[in-house]
Amino acid sequence: MDIIQRLSGTNDLSSREWKRVLAVQTQLRTFISNRGYQVIATPMLEQTELFLRKSGGELAAKMYTFIDPSGRRVSLRPEFTSSVVRAYIEGSLRGRLPLRWQYSGTVFRYESEHESTREHSQLGAEIIGADSPEADAEIIALAVQGLTSLGVGGHRLRIGHLAVMNGVFEALGLSERARVFVLSNLGRLAQGREGLDRVRQRATDLGLLNSRAPKKLTGLVNRLGTEDAQEMIEGFLAEAVTGPTGQRTPEEVMSRYLRKLQDQENPTQIERALEIGASLSSVTGAPGVTLGKLKRFLRKFKLSISILEPLEAVLDALTPYRLKGLPVTLDVGMARGLA
């Protein structure tokens, strides 16, 4: 009879190892509780759609997903945040905002490498209902000081701020679809010319750099309000589309054409965004020096330095936490988990 082996990526813990894990968890839970974060628990099993809504296809290949006996598609949780937000929206966990919650437990992510860990113990904290630099600084300080409370030394702090890059691409007039594409490829753009070429090819494959619509017409439509753009399209097409076309009326044909123009990407804008993204995402380093470099880059591209205000506000909000001696790096190109 064959012996059933432990699944790759999972672990059996001895009594001594388990006590060490429990001691770390207890220390961290106590530390976080003393800062006003209440302990909550969420299910280990959730509907797969919950995680796909948060992460799109980013986590799909790493989730342990199956069909349960009732026919529902369910997954073992790959992380906690989705479940915490679901519990708040659903109303099963409530309270006065802002809410400070902490959680701990096992999460599962499949990694293709043979020796990779696939079963993880995770402990974390969330603030719900507080959108401010002070809330960001509180969570950052909680992570840093939590490690210190365990006696861990030599750790570093790397700070990114999605609002900076998003502000740059909004100022360039990119659509939401184009912004998400560029932001999700910042890591590749930071790899230099080779990375830029790969992202450019990917943009072409997705139809972002090979627009078929006239550039001037697309730009004009996007600058006009919907009603004005509708009148302009009707003026262009009124004589060409006079009777029913297939199963659509002339009005439906013109409305559909307008929607296509409004959704059409501007290849020139995207190309410029890729160049700027590649330049900015490669700027990392100590806060004072890096902020100076970022401001010079923004002026070079004729963009307002006010885009950096959210990042500067977080850095200012961190000051009272006295994290002196901790190496801090700014990295605006850090967009992991964007989806």
Ordered by start, the domain boundaries in the chain are: 15-130, 162-208+267-331, 215-263
Q: What is the pLDDT of residue 10?
A: 92
Among 316, 263, 311, CA closest to 163: 311
The answer to whether 147 and 157 have CB atoms below 8 angstroms apart is no
User: Residues for the chain: how many in total?
Assistant: 339
- Determine the pLDDT at residue 214: 54
**Alpha-carbon gap, residue 135 to 157, rounded angstroms:** 17
Residue 215 has what pLDDT? Answer: 54
The CATH superfamily of 15-130 is Bira Bifunctional Protein; Domain 2 (3.30.930.10)
pLDDT tens for 49-79 read 999 887 766 678 889 999 999 999 999 999 9
In percent, the amount of the chain with pLDDT more than 90 equals 49
**Whether the Cβ atoms of residue 105 and residue 41 lie closer than 8 Å to each other:** yes
pLDDT reading at 81 higher than 70: yes
Tokens of 85: 């937000």
What average pLDDT does this structure show over 88-94? 94
Question: What value does the mean pLDDT take over residues 244-254?
Answer: 55
Calpha distance 167→117 (Å, rounded)? 37
| pTM of structure | 0.77
Angstrom CA distances, 77 to 82, 90, 175, 303, stand at 9, 18, 32, 41
- The answer to whether 39 touches 102, Cβ cutoff 8 Å, is yes
Residue 311 or 265, more confident: 311
